[in-house]
A and B are shown apart, each in its own frame.
Chain A
Amino acid sequence: MTLLDRAEWYDIARATNWTPSYVSDAELFPDVMTGAQGVPAEKWESYDEPYKTSYPEYVRIQREKDAGAYSVKAALERNRMYETADPGWLSILKAHYGAIALGEYAAMSAEARMARFGRAPGMRNMATFGMLDENRHGQIQLYFPHEHCPKDRQFDWAHKAYHTNEWGAIAARHTFDDLFMARSATDIAVMLTFAFETGFTNMQFLGLAADAAETGDYTFASLISSIQTDESRHAQIGGPALQILIANGRKAEAQKLVDVAIARAWRLFALLTGISMDYYTPLEHRKQSFKEFMQEWIVGQFERSLIDLGLDLPWYWDQMINEFDYQHHAYHLGVWFWRPTVWWNPAAGMTPECRDWLEDKYPGWNDTFGKCWDVIIDNLLAGKPELTVPETLPIVCNMSQIPICAVPGKGWNVKDYPLDYKGRTYHFNSEIDRWVFQQDPVRYRDHLTAVDRFLAGHIQPPNLMGALQYMNLSPGEIGDDAHKYAWVEAYRNAPYSKKAA
């Protein structure tokens, strides 16, 4: 039997709108679930997804992708990657799996919402595949780290992290709940697929796959590449949805969704990707600084996507670009100092050569962040490790759920951005975080940060041990310096002197 080409039947097959007779259209597609913002159904029928596929094509390609990734894993199972990799690379893997694997299941629910409540038939069709994609990503990113669990309990956090009150897990949940678990189908198309996936994950996964190959972890490289090809397809759900919103007079609403999503995504990326690229990746394997990466992909490429769609740059664009210079350095210092509170071993990335590299990529680093590290190094050399761990909690941003931090030393610019709202004072990391809260205070007002919970008596006993228990961090899981402080020896009898420019 001769089969028609896909192009000859695709438009008819995915024209799945109908006129309901048992319930009203509004009951079948409630606004709260569709997020159609009053744009009528017939307008959504012009939605034209740029990437078209059929179910048989999808299954064939996905089967090949899975076969490829799983065969690489099987072939390399005896290559002793775990034993031979730099500890900093293992930390990247642990942080990645814990922060992402179960988030993929959340993304699957979000895709399912688009598949059911998307107002455009094409969106529903694309999201059906996206839902299957995200299910695969959840499974494969739980299966791959599982082989390391018998050797290292921190890998168990690939599954465990989201089930705990560990602060990073709270930050990830809060962001993902906001961007795609508690949103309508249209909001998800814009915030998850366009802003988060096109803007950040798709590009970040490209970089991560390259780093993995450079480091010699071909299993992870093939896994990430396999996921990234799915992302680059289903991330295209948002673009045509934005076009329809803008063409039907909803630009302001669309712009707000984009601005909120980019603001929130940026914080998580600064935390996960920023630290990984500039500190955990061994120096000899670094291709680009995080700032260079952000300049190339976010400023150079994503900015153009926004403009091409007819959107404006978010109002805070310049401020966000300014943060490329410092926010992830502050996050790194915080994660390393509060290292017992994370499920991986932070790599300091603080050899004299690393500091030269940081100074080269971020002029002034030694006079700012370097000043704090100088004190830490002095304490470690003097045999006072107790001064390199915390005795109190950092204040956590009521939006990002990440500690409020900025530039120390000579460029000291740390500041609280408070907001009084209905009798409660909220604290934010920046004007951007505070602005997000102000867009929908009712949505965010009742959430308690880790510090709010501590003050409310939820964490008992009220000390570091109580906090570790609250975060479900058990002995053998709590973080410590990835290289067991070996890097400190480079400074014994040889104080760091800044490399001449």
Chain B
Amino acid sequence: MALFPVISNFQYDFVLQLVPVDTDNTMDEVAAVAAHHSVGRRVAPQPDKVIRVRRQGDTDFFPRTAKLCETPIKPMETLEFIFAEE
């Protein structure tokens, strides 16, 4: 359990943001923290969708339940947060 800064590149937002999360957070929890700084501020909510996480340039998302410490994500790596069906 440790503070872990990542960079949020949130779909439809205009700017990269610093997002402090925890190594024990799941991808859904990381997505929720990122959403807090974008959705409802500059990005319209899409309540029927979930937000998935992937590394910049990847097409595959990390599993929603994967913990941050179980992924190869590095501190201050840019992650893409994408609205998805599930």
* Chain A interface residues (CB < 8 Å from chain B): 330, 333-334, 337, 369, 371-372, 374-376, 379, 387-388, 390-395, 403-409, 412, 414-416, 418, 425, 427, 451, 454-455
Contacts and interface: CB of A to CB of B under 8 A. Distances in A.
Interface string B51-76: 00000100000000000000000101
Contact of A405 (B16, B19, B20): B16
A387 B17 contact: no
From DSSP, what is the main secondary structure of chain B's interface residues?
Answer: loop
B2 to A, nearest CB: 14
Contact of B16 (A387, A412, A427, A455): A427
13 contacts: A333-B14, A369-B14, A371-B43, A375-B43, A387-B41, A391-B37, A394-B16, A395-B7, A395-B15, A395-B16, A408-B14, A414-B13, A451-B18
A387 B14 contact: no
A229 to B, nearest CB: 39
A409 B11 CA distance: 8
B78 to A, nearest CB: 4
A375 B44 contact: yes
B9 A415 contact: yes
B8 to A, nearest CB: 9
Given A392-B37, A414-B14, 14 more contacts: A333-B15, A333-B42, A337-B41, A372-B13, A392-B18, A394-B15, A394-B18, A395-B16, A403-B16, A405-B15, A408-B14, A415-B9, A416-B9, A416-B78
A376 B42 contact: yes
Contacts of B7: 395, 416, 427
A407 B9 CA distance: 12
A391 B36 contact: yes
Contacts of A392: 17-20, 37
B47 interface: no
B14 A455 contact: no
A55 B9 CA distance: 57
A461 to B, nearest CB: 14
A46 B68 CA distance: 65
Given A395-B18, A455-B5, A372 B56 contact: no
Task: Pick the 10 closest A-B CB pairs, nearest first.
Answer: A408-B14, A395-B16, A416-B78, A372-B42, A405-B15, A404-B16, A393-B18, A394-B15, A405-B14, A392-B37
Contact of B15 (A375, A403, A425, A427): A403
A408 B19 CA distance: 19
A425 B76 contact: yes
Given A388-B41, A425-B76, A427-B7, A395 B13 contact: no
